């Protein structure tokens, strides 16, 4: 198979890998694939968070586990806006409504109960959660997939000016506000993008943002400046492709500054103060450091038990918390060797779904899970690059370890990869929400 066809299909094929392994292992025939039949798994699962990880696991618990699986998804919003492709909303190439997904299929096709509330309390002693409307839901297994929350950057200035500084790192109103700010720029203006120290969600995402904003300024405004203030010592993903993008394709626009640690943002003068000096811009897009979703980091239950106390450590055979039994954590909130990204969140959800079903069935969980991650990145309006990596469980370290050459970046960026990017996105979102 040609390399790019392979990568376009990678999402679809590896997304279904666990299912195919199951079919192989258990000799399931097509009749047994009817998800509404009882697969012998009986249990109540509450899933918290209807993003890339939570929606996928809710679907696959029912699809693979069958009618005996009582699955409730708790998510405050009726519509999910995809972060993936949200950088293209900033440049007008996509609208936010094109990135909107609902839970209709989850309910009608898979029989998942969806409750549009937030979870406000975790009660592992009674194996229950409390919702924002006061409802208490009991579970046999709880899956937490609340994504990320932020650690605020020190900021001075009036409230009005401070509120103008967007992160736009969760797609929604911040995305459209930042879009308006960028569209208000002229070719004399500077866009400042700050990148937090790793780990943060979507390693290539900020560099992608710098590229598409630079491309937009060049084409729509005839110039302008993009200053990238990176708290890391180097580009965190696709160093060759982004290096070329910054030094060749967007050379006249982008200035990349590594090791830039922010001490303050003065919102009144629109100035970012760092250890390397002060940088003034017309628009400041400040992405703060991340931590696990608040329900984890503020629960007081010790779920955020990683070395830097921001993330939740899990056993990657099951994604069960190492701190609290019967609680599983998937997606960006968990601390694993895998990146914080939507594609891998989808894969983690499937490994976790498979493990929970097997535990309900009284079977041994898969001892050699495989996951993969891919990120496609628009570099201009018509070209894209990508990275991909496959992880395999290593029993010696009990971690997911990259296989082969590790993270592989595409050999440059071009229009073919751009077309593949569109197919990859459709595959991934359809596997998650359809």
Ligand X SMILES: Cc1cc2nc3c(=O)[nH]c(=O)nc-3n(C[C@H](O)[C@H](O)[C@H](O)COP(=O)(O)OP(=O)(O)OC[C@H]3O[C@@H](n4cnc5c(N)ncnc54)[C@H](O)[C@@H]3O)c2cc1C
Is 224 a binder of ligand X (CB under 6 A)?
Answer: no
Q: Which residues contact 224 (CB under 8 A, 6 or more apart)?
A: 185, 186, 187, 188, 189, 190, 191, 217, 218, 253
Q: Which of 10, 35, 41, 51 binds ligand X (CB under 6 A)?
A: 51
In this complex, which beta carbon is closest to ligand X, that of residue 94 or of residue 162? 94
Other Cβ atoms closer than 10 A to 385: 28
Is 205 a binder of ligand X (CB under 6 A)?
Answer: yes
Is 431 a binder of ligand X (CB under 6 A)?
Answer: no
Q: Which stretch binds ligand X (CB under 6 A): 108-116, 143-151, 247-255, 356-364?
A: 143-151
5 token code pair:
């066809």
Q: How far is the CB of 196 from ligand X (least distance, A)?
A: 12
In this complex, which beta carbon is closest to ligand X, that of residue 39 or of residue 417? 417
Is 193 a binder of ligand X (CB under 6 A)?
Answer: no
Is 194 a binder of ligand X (CB under 6 A)?
Answer: no
C-alpha pair distances (Å), 225 with each of 106, 117, 201, 288, 397: 44, 42, 25, 21, 45
Whose CB is nearest to ligand X?
A: 51
Q: Which stretch binds ligand X (CB under 6 A): 13-21, 198-206, 237-245, 359-367?
A: 198-206
Q: How far is the CB of 83 from ligand X (least distance, A)?
A: 3
User: From its phi and psi, is residue 277 left (phi > 0), alpha (psi between -120 and 50) or beta?
Assistant: left
Instruction: Look at the chain and count its residues.
Output: 434
Is 369 a binder of ligand X (CB under 6 A)?
Answer: no
Q: Look at the block and give the residue holding tokens 């009749």.
A: 31
Is 375 a binder of ligand X (CB under 6 A)?
Answer: yes
- DSSP-assigned beta bridge partners for residue 138: 128
Q: Which of 48, 166, 316, 387 binds ligand X (CB under 6 A)?
A: 48
Dump the DSSP string for 74-132.
E-S-SEEEPSTTTHHHHTTSS-GGGGEEESHHHHHTT--EEE-S-EEEEEGGGTEEEET
Q: Which stretch binds ligand X (CB under 6 A): 155-163, 214-222, 277-285, 340-348?
A: 340-348
Whether the CB-CB separation of 314 and 329 falls below 8 Å is answered with yes
Count H helices and E strands in the chain, helices first.
12, 27
Q: Which stretch binds ligand X (CB under 6 A): 139-147, 185-193, 303-311, 360-368?
A: 139-147
Q: Which residues bind ligand X (CB under 6 A)?
A: 48-54, 74-77, 80, 83-84, 86-87, 118-119, 145-147, 169, 201-202, 205, 293, 295, 331-332, 340-343, 345, 375-376
């Amino acid at each position: 198979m040609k390399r790019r066809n392979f990568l376009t299909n990678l999402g679809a094929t590896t997304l279904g890998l666990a299912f195919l392994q199951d079919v192989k292992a258990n000799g399931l025939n097509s009749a047994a694939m009817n998800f509404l039949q009882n697969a012998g798994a009986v249990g109540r699962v509450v899933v918290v968070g209807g993003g890339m990880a939570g929606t996928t696991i809710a679907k696959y618990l029912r699809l693979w586990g069958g009618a005996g699986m009582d699955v409730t998804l708790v998510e405050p919003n009726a519509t999910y806006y995809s972060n993936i492709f949200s950088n293209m909303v900033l440049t007008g190439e996509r609208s936010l409504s094109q990135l909107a997904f609902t839970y209709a299929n989850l309910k009608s096709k898979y029989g998942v109960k969806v409750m549009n509330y937030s979870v406000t309390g975790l009660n592992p002693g009674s194996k229950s959660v409390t919702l924002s409307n006061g409802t208490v839901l009991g579970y046999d297994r709880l899956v937490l997939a609340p994504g990320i929350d932020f650690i605020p950057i020190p900021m001075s200035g009036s409230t009005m000016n401070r509120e103008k500084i967007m992160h736009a790192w969760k797609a929604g109103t911040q995305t459209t506000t930042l879009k308006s700010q960028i569209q208000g720029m002229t070719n004399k203006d500077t866009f400042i993008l700050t990148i937090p120290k790793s780990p943060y969600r979507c390693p290539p995402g900020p560099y992608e943002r710098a590229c598409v904003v630079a491309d937009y300024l060049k084409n729509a405004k005839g110039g302008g400046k993009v200053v990238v203030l990176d708290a890391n010592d180097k580009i965190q993903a696709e160093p060759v492709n982004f290096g070329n993008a910054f030094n060749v394709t967007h050379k006249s626009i982008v200035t990349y500054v590594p090791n830039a640690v922010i001490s303050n943002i003065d919102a009144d003068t629109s100035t970012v103060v760092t250890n390397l000096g002060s940088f003034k811009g017309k628009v400041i897009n400040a992405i703060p450091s991340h931590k696990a979703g608040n329900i984890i980091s503020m629960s007081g239950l010790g779920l955020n038990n990683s070395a830097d106390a921001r993330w939740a450590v899990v056993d990657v055979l099951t994604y069960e918390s190492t701190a609290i039994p019967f609680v599983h954590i998937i997606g960006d909130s968990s601390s694993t060797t895998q990146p914080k990204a939507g594609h891998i969140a989808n894969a983690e959800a499937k490994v976790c779904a498979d493990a929970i079903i097997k535990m309900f069935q009284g079977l041994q969980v898969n001892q050699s899970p495989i996951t993969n991650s891919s990120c496609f990145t628009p570099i201009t309006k018509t070209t894209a690059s990508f990275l991909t990596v496959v992880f395999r469980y290593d029993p010696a370290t009990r971690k997911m370890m990259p296989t082969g050459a590790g993270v592989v970046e595409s050999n440059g960026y071009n229009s073919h990869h751009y077309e593949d990017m569109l197919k990859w996105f459709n595959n991934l979102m359809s596997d998650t929400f359809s």
